[in-house]
Amino acid sequence: MAKIKGFVEFSIEQCKGCELCIEACPFDVLEMSHQVNGKGYTYPLMKHPEQCTGCTSCALVCPDVVITVYKVPTKK
Amino acid sequence: MEIDVEQYKKDLLAQGAEVVFSKTKNLTDTPFSYCGGCGHGVAHRLIMEVIEEMGITDKTIGVAPVGCAVIAYEFWNIDAVQAAHGRASAVATGIKRTNPEKFVFAYQGDGDLAAIGTAETVHTCNRGENIAIFFINNGIYGMTGGQMAPTSLIGMPSSTAPYGRNPDMHGYPLSLTNLLAQLPGTYYITRQAVNTAANVRKCKKAIRQAFENQKLKKGVSLVEIVTNCNSGWKMTARQANKWLEENMLSQYPLGDIKVPKTDN
């Protein structure tokens, strides 16, 4: 079976750095940045993009709705 | 081996990657005024997503409470009113009675619904108004600086009970949701949480059910959402969600409390 692939994008300027997405990710894809955004918060980045399956777990728990999830559709 | 993230995204887009999750149009571009990690944001998103999925954006009127969500109408791209403290369900009653074809919901916190608005809430439920009530329970008065609320747990420190809630002096945690389930005017009562992705999915289903029930005109649908208040609890967001799971959920167990009887 081909691996399901996806990726996430963040509206970095809206992020408040709560890190809940990092905890929610079942595949250890995300990590916090070492830089800060305009509000002074660190924000998440994709550390291991190849492990992302586009499962939307991070986006579901994000309180500020900063995450957009993309997924490559599986062929039927 | 480091992967170039931008190149990886371009490759997947070339393979036909589609958006599977994005911000609903029913939320405005105004950033939430809540603290980082606050469950209010998730609750707002779920309610707005359900309204979008049901296609009732033009037919829904929300009532914002007093509390952290006092300017919720800034974030909701729907019609909304802001009610006096605790009176959201009474205002929602008026709106629903004059506009029975509209979908009306009250969005209230625990200080609003379970303390100051207890009378309005109990009587709205007793009258069996056809509204949905979303009850955000974080066990504390978050907006005013973390004072003890009726829903605060025993032993839980807050700015007005710094040594923890002592039942001899402060009474016991009030589970208003369980009390309301005994009233004949309530139709659907459930308790959900938004601390994990699985709970968020269940919570969304409950919110959908609450809106669907309004079509049946059988009474109040109340969804309690147990959430964190990391600033009031003096924790990080991750600690607060862990604390919620270990402490709040034993006092406020998740699940349906009153479900409609099906006629089979």
**In chain B, where the domains are located:** 33-258
User: Which pLDDT score is estimated for A76?
Assistant: 62
* B chain contacts of residue A56, beta-carbon cutoff 8 Å: 20-21, 197
Compare all CA atoms of chain A with the CA of B10 and give the residue at the minimum distance: A7
Convert the pLDDT of each residue in B136-184 to its tens digit: 999 999 999 999 999 999 999 999 999 999 999 999 999 999 999 999 9
Whether B264 shows a pLDDT value over 60: the answer reads no
How high is the ipTM of this complex? 0.93
Whether the CB-CB separation of B231 and B35 falls below 8 Å is answered with yes
Whether B116 shows a pLDDT value over 90: the answer reads yes
Convert the pLDDT of each residue in A14-73 to its tens digit: 999 999 999 999 999 999 999 999 999 999 999 999 999 999 999 999 999 999 999 998
Nearest to B19 among A16, A20, A68 (CB): A68
Q: What is the mean pLDDT of residues B236-242?
A: 94
User: Which pLDDT score is estimated for A75?
Assistant: 72
B261 band by pLDDT with thresholds 50, 70 and 90: confident
Q: Domain B33-258 classified CATH 1.10.10.10?
A: no
List the single best residue of A72, A74, A75 to mutate versus B (max B Cβ within 10 A).
Answer: A72
* A chain contacts of residue B41, beta-carbon cutoff 8 Å: 62-65
**Which residues, other chains included, contact B103 with Cβ-Cβ below 8 Å and sequence gap of 6+?**
B51, B56, B59, B60, B61, B132, B211, B214
Instruction: Say how many CB pairs under 8 Å bridge A and B.
Output: 110
Compare all CA atoms of chain A with the CA of B231 and give the residue at the minimum distance: A18
Rounded to whole angstroms, what are the CA distances from B3 to A49, A51, B35, B164, B232? Answer: 8, 11, 33, 49, 40
Compare all CA atoms of chain A with the CA of B27 and give the residue at the minimum distance: A65
Whether B1 shows a pLDDT value over 70: the answer reads no
Residue A1 distance to chain B (closest CA, Å): 17
The domains located in chain A, with CATH, are 6-71 (3.30.70.20)
Whether B255 shows a pLDDT value over 60: the answer reads yes
Whether A74 shows a pLDDT value over 90: the answer reads no
Convert the pLDDT of each residue in B4-55 to its tens digit: 889 999 999 999 999 999 999 999 999 999 999 999 999 999 999 999 999 9
Cα–Cα distance measured from residue B126 to residue B186, given in angstroms and rounded to the nearest whole number: 7
Q: Where are the alpha helices (DSSP H) in B86-196?
A: 88-98, 110-111, 118-127, 167-170, 176-180
User: Who has greater pLDDT, B139 or A1?
Assistant: B139
How high is the mean pLDDT of chain B? 94
Convert the pLDDT of each residue in B45-72 to its tens digit: 999 999 999 999 999 999 999 999 999 9
CA distance from start to end of chain A: 11
Note whether B14 contacts A: Cβ–Cβ < 8 A.
no
Backbone angles phi, psi at A49, to 5 degrees: -60, -30
Share of chain B above pLDDT 70, in %: 99
Nearest to B17 among A57, A59, A71 (CB): A71
How many residues would you count in chain A? 76
Q: What angle do CA A18, B191, B63 make, to 5 degrees?
A: 75
Nearest to B37 among A14, A63, A70 (CB): A63
